[in-house]
Structure formats: C-alpha cells, structure tokens
Structure 1
Amino acid sequence: MKKLIKLIFVAAIGLFVLTGCRTAAVYNVPNSPVEAAKKVSDEKVYDAIKTAGTSLGWIVKKVKPGVAEARLNIRKHMALVEIKYNNKNYSINYKNSMNLNYDSQKGTIHSNYNGWVQNLDNAIQVQLSAM
C-alpha cells in the first residue's frame, strides 16, 4: 500500500512539473498590414500601437522612428518585443524575456508568451481599424 501511494505521489509530481513547462514555438508577427479606413502617418501607427499595448499592460516606448519596444511584466515574468512599423505594415518580434523558458536553439518559449503577443496584435488591429 505504501509503495502504491509513493508511486502515485511521484507520478503526480512528475505530471505537475511537465504541465508547468508548456512551451511552444516563438510567435512573431511578420509584416501585418496596416488596415485603416484612411491613409495614416507613421506617427499615427505608433499611436495605435502605444494605445493598444498600454490597454493590455504593455509599456510601449519609441526607440527611434519606425521602431518601438513593448515590455510586459507579469508577476516574475517579463517579455520584451520589438515592433517595427510604418504606414503600410508592422512586425512584432521577440527580443528578450525573463522566466519564460526561452530556448534560442529550439526557438521555443512558454506558451503564455504567444497568447500575450497575439492579444497585442489583435489590439493593434482594433486600434488601426478605428482610425
């Protein structure tokens, strides 16, 4: 009986560890078109990116014209993306992270990261379509 309980305990711990390590391929957004009701400037695209990111808890700052960085801090996790943009398209690319199990050789990261970037992309699209 003790062996059975010990085996169940070890199996439960193993399952818990594996469940906590969900990784997936890093999600990037390459050349997403700027679909606005009218022609917009690069500055307006940046404003849409900043508004969208801020609404989701991202800290967005312009690094130079056409390039922004967005940082998301959740508990002990940090994600940093680079966003290249102009009045025709924008791209969101992984730049750095902390406590998200990023593996540069495999190109994988904790799957929550991908959801955060997808949410950011969707929010940017909403902001752009409202212009």
Structure 2
Amino acid sequence: MRIPQSKQFGLFSLNCFCKESRFYFKIVMVAFYLILLGVYFHYSRSKYCPSYLIKIPAKYAGIAGNMLLLAGTMRFVYQEEWTSGLLLSLAACALAMSLIPFTAVLGKRYFIILAALVHILLVADIFTYAS
C-alpha cells in the first residue's frame, strides 16, 4: 500500500503522513491532552481526590472521561495504525494515571504547575505547527 507524501488542502500542502513533520507531533500532544483530561475526570470522582481540586459531578465525569479517553485513543490509532496507536495510548494513559494522583497529593501548587506545563506545551506545539 502506497502512502501519499502530502495532502492538498486548497492552496496549502500538509506533509501529514511523514513521521518527521510537525503535524505528527501536534496529533500526539492533542491525543495526550485528551487522555490526561479523561484520566482527571475519572480521578475527580474518586474518594482520594483532594478537596482543593475542581471536582466534576459524578454523573457527567464517567461519561466525559470515557469519551475523552476514547477520543485520545482514536487520535493515536489514526496516526500510528492500530497496534502502535493502542500501545502509545496505553503508555499515555499509564503516564497520566501516575502523574495526576502524584501531583494532586503533593499539593495544589504542584498540580497547578503540572496543568500549566501541559497547557504551555500544547499551545507551543500548536503555534510551532502553525508557523
């Protein structure tokens, strides 16, 4: 099966099938962000979630968390085929499941630093792709 080297979108050409392109990294960061949010929604339902964190109502947290995890997994699978995508999704989910509880119990300051770092990396990745 031949993979095209670029896709045409009007007047613009995106090299979106090349692994070295910045588009690849944008997909990975967005997928990791979706998985991180999904894990946070599930963590906010647990009894171990500290009181100073924003808690999502339990009725919506489960559904929204599952949808975000599924969306992040689908982004990985879309970019990396199904085996590599599922493995990357599993690794991202494991990383999110270890980072969120670890920084949450350390204190509010550390959790805010983690959230700010993830948002800065996401925005930087989007801007580097756009330029």
The two structures have a TM-score, normalised by structure 1, of: 0.29
The two structures have a TM-score, normalised by structure 2, of: 0.29
Q: Which has the higher helix share?
A: 2
Relative contact order higher in (CA < 8 Å, ≥ 6 apart): 1
**Higher-Rg member (1/2):** 1
